Amino acid sequence: MNPETGGVCEAVRLLAEGLTETGFYNEIVSVDDKIYHPGSAVKQHALGPKKGPWYYSKQLLPWLLQNLTRFDMVIVHGLWLYHGYAVNKAIKQLDRNAEGILPRFMVMPHGMLDPYFQRAKGRRLKALRNVAYWALIEKNVINNADELLFTCETELLLAREPFKPYYPKRETVVGLGVQPPPAYTQAMTDAFLKKAPDLQQRSYWLFLSRINEKKGCDLMLQAYKSLAERVAATGDTSRFPQLVIAGPGVETAYGEQLENMVKQSAVLNDRVHFPGMLSGDAKWGAFYGCEAFVLPSHQENFGIAVVEALACSKPVLISDQVNIWREINKAAAAIVGPDTVDGTFNTLKKWYNLSAENKQHMSNAAIECFEQAFSTKANIERFSEVLLNNHSLSINKNKLIDQYAFIS
């Protein structure tokens, strides 16, 4: 449940807490070595420390065998790691031993069946490993589950492509939701500007996510540089925004590569800022203060940061590989393009050239899109309906097994 590992852990936390508020009982089990959200109303079990790239925990299977029959449902979040294998094995063993009434077994892949992971050039060895792992383990987890749960229709359709045999008993789109942000305060701006003091009185575009090749950060920098050069050639740079690249990963080889690109470019050097990972007031200050949110990702199953931007009334400039782009584009809250340098350049250029009036219309559309499609309230209503109507669950029992780290 470490928040630095990506959006899945945050999705699990919000889902569990939202279901708790509506009357469901939840527990979260992970292979962390500590509890990351000690103030949560949801009971948590940290059964780590995890070992090796499989995230093996010797405590997990015994805990499952002892506790699974207490629940009406077990939901495995994420794939390709030990936790899914352990849940599947535990259910089979409990079934053989006729030990109590078994919970319904659900899997929420969170985009981890996306064909991108098998096709990306830099993942060829991992793709071969996944083929072998599918044949030995993961196909059993998927095909033995009572139901697969997806965040959007695009994810469901893409999941059918990369692996065979793929025979899920049932597929359901349940969506995903994000809590409304706290109301804006000046303290948020102050906290953000402490992280990025050079942005005083300056407009900026915001990238806030893991600094990772999959997120298209290099495309964004190249596109931003080209647009900055074009604007500079006109002699009018007064309204051209700065670019903030915030998130964990600056210290990685890829992050250092991006920083070097900036340092070596006269155009980028005084326009691009790396404030690091932002949280709390600093994070919300960055969202509320930006002109627009940018994410030219090569693959994004949902994109919690995208939805958080919408919740702050910020239009999003995203690639068509962010699986929820159709919903946002339909709501007129996004400018969408291919996950290429040219596609990202055209996306940034379209936003830059919009009139102030049209930008305000998109800002208004952003908050409406969030409230209708991506708020926690809307998502919990959909998820609760799946739990109650489709599975005849009692209102007081539900179990979430979380795996927060995923292959990216």
Q: What is the pLDDT of residues 250-307, one digit of tens each?
A: 999 999 999 999 999 999 999 999 999 999 999 999 999 999 999 999 999 888 899 9
Cα torsion through 222, 230, 273, 250, rounded to 10: 10
* Burial class of 168 by CB neighbour count within 10 A (0 to 12, 13 to 18, 19+): middle
Q: How far apart are the first and last CA of the chain?
A: 17
pTM of the predicted protein model? 0.78
Tokens of 253: 């080889």
Q: How far is CA 146 from CA 90, 149, 333, 387, in A?
A: 15, 10, 36, 12
Pairing of strands 272-276, 242-246: parallel
Spell out the SS3 assignment of 1-34: CCHHHCHHHHHHHHHHHHHHHCCCCCEEEECCCC
**Cα separation, 46 vs 404, whole angstroms:** 12
pLDDT at 282: 98
Tokens of 7: 């959006």
pLDDT at 153: 87
Neighbours of 114 (CB within 10 A): 21
Coil, strand or helix at 276:
strand
Q: Structural domains in the chain? A: 3-177+376-390+397-401 (3.40.50.2000), 186-374 (3.40.50.2000)
Q: What is the pLDDT of residues 300-350, one digit of tens each?
A: 988 889 999 999 999 999 999 999 999 999 999 999 999 999 999 999 999
Coil, strand or helix at 275:
strand
Provide DSSP, 161-229.
Answer: SS-SS---S-EEE----BPPPPPP-HHHHHHHHHH-GGGTT--EEEEES---GGGTHHHHHHHHHHHHH
Q: Which residues of the chain have pLDDT under 70?
A: 6, 389-408
